[in-house]
Structure 1
Amino acid sequence: MNDAHFRNLDLNLLRVLDALLVEESATRAGAKLGLTQSAVSHALGRLRLSLGDELFVRGPSGLQPTPRAIEIGASVREALKLLEVAVSVPVFDPATSQRAFHVSASAYLCTVLMPGVVKRLQAEAPGVALRIRGVEGPLAEDLDRGKLDLVIGGFEHVAPRFTHTPLFTETGVWVIRADHPAARGEITPGALDGLSCLNISGGHEEEEARAGSRRELGLKRIARWSTDYALTSNRCMEGPVTVPDASSALVMVSRTDMAALLPRRLAKIAAQNKRAILIEPHHHPEPVLFGAVTRSGESQSGPVSWLLGVISEVAAEL
């Protein structure tokens, strides 16, 4: 067979050749492949033409392979197995995997969500590594290129080429330090009157305005998620200090007389540790939805889907 014949060879014909070598019958080979006896006979005719050999002759016990068929049979079977492995998606086994997962998550999520995820990984996938990076950089582009497996956050927009899986919703609550002078009496929204309010920027607006990469490439995170809460409250005066994220704000509030509107789950952790006092907002805007973004088309039995399942289960218990 010359190069031109090989380029025009239908790979399905090689499956027929392999089945005939095993079954020595066009009927049985057809049953194995889900083809009729006549379809197998037609394929054999095409093989004979392409390979320039009879390949099989009728004998007393069925179709007998020619020396040429036997010669190429082992190579064809090995090639078919390699192709099967190449196109098959292996089932992910977390107990034995040595895979490294790459996830983008904010400091807030590393405080309220990811410890539970890490605990599950240690128990169920001891050989797996988890690389968590912040929310900076070209997240969508890195998802496309496989540099990230998951991006977790609150998003205003997710491009259709990605899959967004909702995880949990979050609300805000005002926070002051536990020994704040305003906390000496009854804790009501009135305790915020006249206090300086700490601003949380989200930390990436300037980068988005300069590059626009997240909008253009398909991801736009929610910025200043607490703005609606702040605008609907006249209790707290906007202050001169701005920090990049909620975790920084919690540290700042715990050491000053300022107040900040923080994600409720983060604030509760501080309150449980006797570091902060929580004050309900006067108005409650819509909660913010946090979710995980992955590449569309991930195998349901693959590693990313498994990790997403773990994250979803942990989030459901928050």
Structure 2
Amino acid sequence: MNLLRLFEAVYRLGSVSRAADALGLSQPAASQGLTRLRLALGDALFVRANGRMRPTLRAERLASVVQPAVAAIEDVLRDEDAFDPSRSQMTVRLHLNDIGEARLLPELMEALHRQAPGIRVHTTPLPHGEITDALETGAIHFALGFLPSVSGTERVELLRDRYAVVVRAGHPMAKASKASNVRMTIQDLRRLEYVAVRSHSETFRILQQLGLDGRLVLNSAHFLALPAIIARTDFAVVMPQAIARRFIEPKRYVVLPAELPRSAFTVSLHWSRRFESDPAHHWMRNLFIGLFKD
């Protein structure tokens, strides 16, 4: 590559000394490089005429290929440190589950709308065992969530949350806990019936650990219907507290004062080291961190 860049500079400038200056080489180093290229190609490449280095026919043919190739490579190298989000048309592919979408996408899309209106976002929930390979191959750019089984990635912790028990505002147990101003016991929780989303294994782990899995009346594929269901029944749902406080109307729902076992969890941003130096990837990482890091 260095010899071809030297060839291109001599062809363009008509001088070995000027080519050496342009490339930051000494004149002897440039002369030695040109000699190596002549020997490798079996052609003089340049002959001196009227004070300039004139290309041979072989050099003319070579230059027609080398010049655009060198220009394209140098453009890529110059662009390596430059990324203009306001002009980007890239599609960012994310692993996010439904609750992650509810928690993170509103702020993310608002920020992209302001700073990078041409960027598109595509989300897909992957099985946790496939996330590392998907990041490595570029099938997704980032994975966000509580992903303790995902290994072999770069990651940064964004925020912490905990699971909570949510019921409708008029629920008899909500009224009783408010009147007594005491925390609920396991016995209290065992009097409730529950709805849950099977894609969120931690909620099932909590219910099982408390011996409440026998009280599960709805095992749903998606989270979206659960708030409407608990608003019309005395069922309870175990869900992240931040989602409950931010996205469920406080006049219609109550977070019960109950301490759940091992309920705290961390939402992290995962990516592959392969793409760490990419300017667009770097910009997106900083955007996530700036928006969501506690």
TM-score range, shorter chain: 0.7 to 0.9
Give the alignment partner of residue 112 of structure 1, picking from 103, 108, 127.
Answer: 103
Q: Give the aligned residue type for 2:191.
A: L
Which residue in the other structure is 2:264 paired with?
287
Give the alignment partner of residue 81 of structure 1, picking from 60, 66, 71.
Answer: 71
1:180 CA displacement = 0.7
Give the alignment partner of residue 255 of structure 1, picking from 214, 232, 235.
Answer: 232
Give the alignment partner of residue 101 of structure 1, picking from 92, 98, 115.
Answer: 92
1:292 CA displacement = 2.1
Which residue in the other structure is 1:4 paired with?
none
SS of residue matched to 2:135: helix
Which residue in the other structure is 1:45 paired with?
35
Q: Give the aligned residue type for 2:262.
A: P
The yes-or-no answer on 1:196 pairing with 2:192 is yes
What is the rounded CA distance, in whole Å, between the counterparts of 1:123 and 1:279 in structure 2?
A: 38
Aligned pairs (5 A) from 1:155-170: 155-160=147-152, 162-170=153-161
SS of residue matched to 2:156: strand
What is the rounded CA distance, in whole Å, between the counterparts of 2:120 and 2:75 in structure 1?
A: 25
CA 13–301 in structure 1, closer or farther in 2 if over 3 Å, else same: closer
The yes-or-no answer on 1:29 pairing with 2:25 is no
Which residue in the other structure is 1:143 paired with?
135
Q: Does structure 1 conserve the Cα–Cα contact (< 8 Å) formed by 2:158 and 2:293? A: yes
TM-score (norm 1): 0.74
Which residue in the other structure is 2:112 paired with?
121
The yes-or-no answer on 1:65 pairing with 2:54 is yes
> Which has the higher mean CA deviation after the structures are superposed, 147-156 or 51-60?
51-60
Q: Does structure 1 conserve the Cα–Cα contact (< 8 Å) formed by 2:93 and 2:121? A: yes
Q: Does structure 2 conserve the Cα–Cα contact (< 8 Å) formed by 1:199 and 1:238? A: no
What is the rounded CA distance, in whole Å, between the counterparts of 1:13 and 1:114 in structure 2?
A: 49
Q: Does structure 1 conserve the Cα–Cα contact (< 8 Å) formed by 2:158 and 2:266? A: yes
SS of residue matched to 1:35: coil
Which residue in the other structure is 2:205 paired with?
227
1:58 CA displacement = 4.6
Q: Does structure 2 conserve the Cα–Cα contact (< 8 Å) formed by 1:105 and 1:133? A: yes
Q: Does structure 1 conserve the Cα–Cα contact (< 8 Å) formed by 2:95 and 2:142? A: yes
Give the alignment partner of residue 216 of structure 2, picking from 240, 248, 254.
Answer: 240
Give the alignment partner of residue 133 of structure 1, picking from 96, 105, 124.
Answer: 124
What is the rounded CA distance, in whole Å, between the counterparts of 2:143 and 2:126 in structure 1?
A: 8
> Which has the higher mean CA deviation after the structures are superposed, 30-39 or 86-95?
86-95
Q: Give the aligned residue type for 1:150.
A: F
Q: Give the aligned residue type for 2:30.
A: V
CA 181–46 in structure 1, closer or farther in 2 if over 3 Å, else same: same
CA 127–290 in structure 1, closer or farther in 2 if over 3 Å, else same: same
Unpaired runs of 5+ residues, structure 2, are none
User: How many residues end up aligned between the 2 structures?
Assistant: 285
What is the rounded CA distance, in whole Å, between the counterparts of 2:218 and 2:10 in structure 1?
A: 75
What is the rounded CA distance, in whole Å, between the counterparts of 2:70 and 2:247 in structure 1?
A: 60
Q: Does structure 2 conserve the Cα–Cα contact (< 8 Å) formed by 1:92 and 1:301? A: no
What is the rounded CA distance, in whole Å, between the counterparts of 2:83 and 2:115 in structure 1?
A: 12
CA 74–251 in structure 1, closer or farther in 2 if over 3 Å, else same: same
Which residue in the other structure is 1:310 paired with?
287
Q: Percent identity?
A: 22
Q: Give the aligned residue type for 1:101.
A: V
> Which has the higher mean CA deviation after the structures are superposed, 239-248 or 303-312?
239-248
RMSD: 3.3
What is the rounded CA distance, in whole Å, between the counterparts of 1:16 and 1:139 in structure 2?
A: 44
1:270 CA displacement = 5.3
Q: Does structure 2 conserve the Cα–Cα contact (< 8 Å) formed by 1:198 and 1:238? A: no
Q: Does structure 1 conserve the Cα–Cα contact (< 8 Å) formed by 2:177 and 2:257? A: no
What is the rounded CA distance, in whole Å, between the counterparts of 1:260 and 1:146 in structure 2?
A: 36
What is the rounded CA distance, in whole Å, between the counterparts of 2:151 and 2:261 in structure 1?
A: 29
